[in-house]
């Protein structure tokens, strides 16, 4: 449209065509103003759409990870998962919001320009059409090689993020081992490899684009000489020549634009593949929670489980009586923690079954029966935020009285002596607290949950014997009608239980 108007106003001005000069000038100005307004609206609503889509994609991928089966997530490093959710998702959104619309517009411009060129000069249009297969042949090679490089770079990027995350999280270990320089050397090696692959991809892309640029320059020169020759023969007007050259530019521009979009398209394609790997993770069973109430016993019948080929548990038969305190003891690696994960349906046995029983009712363990459990895992599991925030992860509407009660049961009375009490802010992993203090707050948080089966995995490993005795004594009162199972290496805890299982 713009080219046709330009051609017409030039031909009218040079008396090669009859028409209303001022009308066409007005339409040209109006069209320019329309383009400016459209660009403003596209910019504003494009940004709005970009934020909404970006948030939506990240939310969906994060929800997929949270709702997937726990053992499926173990296939990925947490740094890799975060890279996929943040960077890969951003690349996909950027393509949908920016590159894809540009691709559509550019493609439409290319088709429209070719049709108009065909109208002006069929011979030149047919020549361009015959040359097109060469372009597609080069494009196929380009896509294949660029996809290979993109996959490599994304893998290296994930490895780099994983390494950085682990190093920052374990700063105490890095410092006390004086591992700073080897750590930096490791990062440098990853960065050098990233640079090497990036430059290989860049060099390949530039070489191929140089070939296309040379072809475009030659094409423009052919079109220019062809147009001048036609003008010499008086076969076309000066306005037609101007339109002719503009059209060649309009064809070359979109083609160059399409070549420029290809690397982004390939990058997005590999990003989508990586996101789909997360999407393919199996999700946990959905439905209403199955709460059996108090007085629940647990039976393992002929249960076999292996992380790899060698079974950790083989034809295991266990019974946990309702209302009893049971201790599971044994050597490291014998499967004590695995037993708890199987009860929580974080893992699934390859053979056998695990049942929760109350009277004549039996329920196979699943994600839906998890509401019956209070689980305290090993180690420091606190989040950044206040102590109140951490406690309310177990029960959002917990009252101050309820939080105070569980803190006392967990022998975490020290919280009340802190300047801000339960509103004391904690850093990542509860930095600023001792391991024993963090462990007791973690225990209090789990007790606030309200299940009727307590699974306590090395729950007193970081506290002294006096505090340990106080916690066990408090639990005897707090959990008098609950089924309590300890995984422990401490024989003093085992001595205070009703039953001991040695694995």
- For the segment 28-73, what is each residue's pLDDT rounded down to a tens digit? 888 888 888 888 887 888 788 888 888 888 899 999 999 999 988 8
Rounded distance between C-alpha atoms, residue 407 and residue 445, angstroms: 8
Beta bridge partners of 373: 453
For residues 250-273, average pLDDT = 73
What's the CATH class of domain 2-279?
A: mainly alpha
91 vs 241: which has the higher pLDDT: 91
Q: Quick check: 484 and 477 in contact, CB under 8 A?
A: no
Rounded distance between C-alpha atoms, residue 204 and residue 145, angstroms: 8
For residues 439-460, average pLDDT = 94
- At 481 the three-state DSSP class reads coil
Q: Which CATH architecture has domain 297-502?
A: 3-Layer(aba) Sandwich (3.40)
Least confident of 179-188, 243-252, 420-429, 457-466: 243-252
Least confident of 243-252, 284-293, 342-351, 428-437: 243-252
Supply the pLDDT for residue 213.
Answer: 67
Give the residue carrying structure tokens 């634009």: 257
What's the mean pLDDT when you consider all of the chain?
85
Least confident of 23-27, 317-321, 417-421: 23-27
In the chain, what are the domain boundaries?
Answer: 2-279, 297-502
**Nearest Cα to Cα of residue 253 among 204, 211, 212, 225:** 212
423-445 confidence digits (pLDDT tens): 999 987 788 889 999 999 999 99
Q: How confident is the model at residue 293 (pLDDT cuts 50, 70, 90)?
A: very high
Supply the pLDDT for residue 247.
Answer: 64
**pTM of the entire predicted model:** 0.74
Count of C-beta atoms within a 10 Å radius of residue 435: 14
Write phi, then psi, for 310 (nearest 5 degrees). Answer: -80, 120
Q: Which residues contact 411 (CB under 8 A, 6 or more apart)?
A: 440, 463, 467, 470, 471, 474
């Amino acid at each position: 449209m713009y080219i046709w108007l330009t051609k017409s106003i030039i031909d009218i001005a040079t008396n090669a065509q009859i028409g209303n000069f001022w009308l066409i000038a007005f339409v040209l100005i109006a069209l320019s103003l329309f383009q400016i307004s459209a660009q403003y609206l596209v910019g504003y609503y494009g940004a709005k759409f970009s934020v909404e889509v970006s948030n939506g994609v990240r939310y969906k991928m994060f929800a997929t990870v949270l709702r997937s089966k726990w053992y499926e997530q173990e296939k990925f490093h947490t740094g890799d998962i975060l890279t996929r959710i943040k960077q890969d998702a951003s690349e996909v959104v950027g393509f949908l919001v920016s590159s894809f619309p540009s691709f559509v517009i550019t493609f439409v411009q290319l088709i429209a320009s070719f049709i108009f060129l065909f109208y002006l000069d069929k011979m030149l249009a047919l020549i361009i059409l015959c040359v097109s297969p060469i372009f597609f042949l080069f494009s196929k090679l380009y896509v294949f090689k660029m996809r290979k490089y993109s996959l490599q770079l994304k893998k290296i990027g994930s490895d780099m993020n994983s390494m950085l995350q682990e190093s920052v999280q374990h700063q105490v270990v890095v410092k006390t081992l004086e591992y700073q320089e080897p750590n930096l050397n490791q990062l440098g090696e990853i960065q050098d490899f990233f640079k090497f692959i990036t430059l290989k991809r860049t060099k390949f892309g530039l070489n191929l684009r140089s070939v296309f640029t040379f072809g475009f320059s030659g094409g423009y020169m052919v079109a220019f000489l062809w147009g001048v020759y036609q003008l010499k023969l008086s076969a076309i007007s000066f306005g037609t020549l101007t339109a002719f050259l503009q059209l060649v530019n309009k064809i070359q521009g979109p083609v160059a634009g399409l070549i420029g979009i290809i690397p982004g398209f390939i990058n997005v394609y590999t990003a989508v593949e990586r996101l789909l790997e997360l999407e393919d993770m199996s999700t946990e069973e959905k439905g209403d929670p199955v709460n059996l109430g108090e007085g629940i016993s647990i039976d393992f019948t002929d249960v076999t489980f292996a992380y790899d080929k060698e079974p950790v548990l083989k034809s295991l038969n266990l019974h946990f009586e309702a209302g009893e305190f049971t201790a599971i003891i044994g050597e490291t690696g014998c499967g004590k923690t695995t037993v708890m994960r199987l009860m929580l349906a974080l893992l699934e046995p390859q053979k056998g079954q695990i049942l929760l029983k109350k009277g004549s009712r039996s329920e196979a363990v699943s994600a839906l029966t998890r509401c019956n459990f209070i689980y305290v895992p090993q180690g420091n599991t606190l989040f950044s935020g206040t102590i109140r925030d951490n406690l309310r992860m177990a029960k959002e509407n917990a009252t101050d009285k309820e939080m105070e009660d569980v803190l006392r049961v967990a022998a975490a009375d020290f919280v009340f002596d802190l300047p801000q009490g339960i509103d004391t802010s904690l850093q990542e992993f509860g930095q600023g607290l001792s391991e024993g203090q963090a462990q007791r707050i973690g225990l209090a948080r789990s007790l606030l949950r309200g299940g009727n089966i307590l699974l306590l995995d090395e729950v007193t490993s970081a506290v002294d014997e006096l505090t340990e005795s106080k916690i066990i004594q408090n639990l005897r009162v707090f959990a008098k009608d609950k089924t309590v199972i300890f995984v422990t290496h401490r024989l003093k805890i085992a001595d205070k239980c009703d039953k001991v299982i040695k694995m």
